[in-house]
Structure 1
Amino acid sequence: MPVTGLYFCPDSGTTQAPATAIIDRLSKRYQPVLTTKFSLEHRLLREHGLPTPTPTTSTPTSTTAPNLPSAASASTNNSTGAAGGGAAQGRPDQPRFMQYLDLSHHPGKRFCLVDKTIVTLDPDFDQILTSKLQSLWGMRQTLKADGSGFDLEDFRIKVATLTQGSMLKGVLVEVEYLPASTLEQGEAVIRDFIDQLELPSGANVRLYFSQAVRSGDKEGEEREFSILDTGMQYMELLRLR
Structure 2
Amino acid sequence: MGVTVLQIFPDVSRSGCHETEKLHKRIMHLDAVQSGMFTVECDSYYTTAQTGGGVRKMHIVHNSETPTTTYAILDTGSKQVTLSADYLFDLMLPRLDHMYQSKKNLKIESKGAKYEIGDFLVKIGSVTMSGHYKGILVEVEYLPCVTPALCWSLVREFMQSFMGSCVKPTLPSYLQTRLHDIHTPQDTVQQYVEKFNEFRDGPSFTATQPATPAT
User: TM-score, normalization: structure 2?
Assistant: 0.78
Taking CA–CA contacts closer than 8 Å with sequence separation of 6 or more, which of the two structures ends up with the larger relative contact order? 1
Q: Specify the alignment match of 1:23 in structure 2.
A: 24
| Shift in alpha-carbon separation, 1:177–1:132, aligned structure 2, 3 A | same
RMSD of equivalent CA atoms: 2.8
> 2:147–2:179: 8 Å Cα contact kept in structure 1?
no
| Contact 1:40–1:145 under 8 Å retained in 2 | yes
Aligned position for 1:124:
88
Which of 174, 185, 190 matches 2:139?
174
Contact 2:16 2:136 in 1 (8 A): no
C-alpha change, 1:47 and 1:19, in structure 2 (3 Å) is: same
1:111 to 55, 60, 71: 71
- Tell me the alpha carbon deviations over residues 114-133 of structure 1, each in whole angstroms, 9 at most, x when there is no partner: 0210011111111111x201
Name the residue aligned to 1:2: 2
Please tell me whether residue 222 in structure 1 is matched to residue 186 in structure 2. Answer: no
Structure 2's unaligned 5+ residue stretches are 201-215
C-alpha change, 1:165 and 1:27, in structure 2 (3 Å) is same
Give the Cα separation in 1 of the matches to 2:37 and 2:196: 20
Structure 1 residue aligned with 2:197 = 239
- Measure the CA separation in 1 of the matches of 2:141 and 2:51: 46
Deviating above 3 A after TM superposition, structure 1's stretches of 4 or more consecutive aligned residues are: 9-13, 198-202
C-alpha contact (below 8 Å) 1:162/1:169 kept by paired residues: yes
Contact in 2 for aligned 1:5/1:187 (Cα 8 Å): no
The share of aligned pairs that are identical, in percent, is: 24
1:98 is matched with 58
Q: Give the deviation of 1:12 after TM superposition.
A: 5.0
Distance (whole Å) between structure 2 residues aligned to residue 10 and residue 45 of structure 1: 28
Distance 2:46 2:192 in 1: 18
Q: Which has the higher helix share?
A: 2
Kept in 2, the 8 Å contact 1:2–1:225? The answer is: yes
CA 1:48–1:37: 2 relative to 1, 3 Å: same
Q: TM-score, normalised by structure 1?
A: 0.70
What is the CA-CA distance between 1:156 and the residue it aligns to?
0.5
Q: Is the partner of 1:45 in helix, strand or coil?
A: strand
Residue of structure 1 aligned with 2:118, choices 140, 143, 153: 153
Partner of 1:5, secondary structure, is strand
Give 1 or 2 for the bigger CA radius of gyration: 1
Number of paired residues? Answer: 191
Output aligned runs, 1:70-109, within 5 Å.
Answer: 94-109=54-69
Which residue identity lines up with residue 223 of structure 1 in the other structure?
D
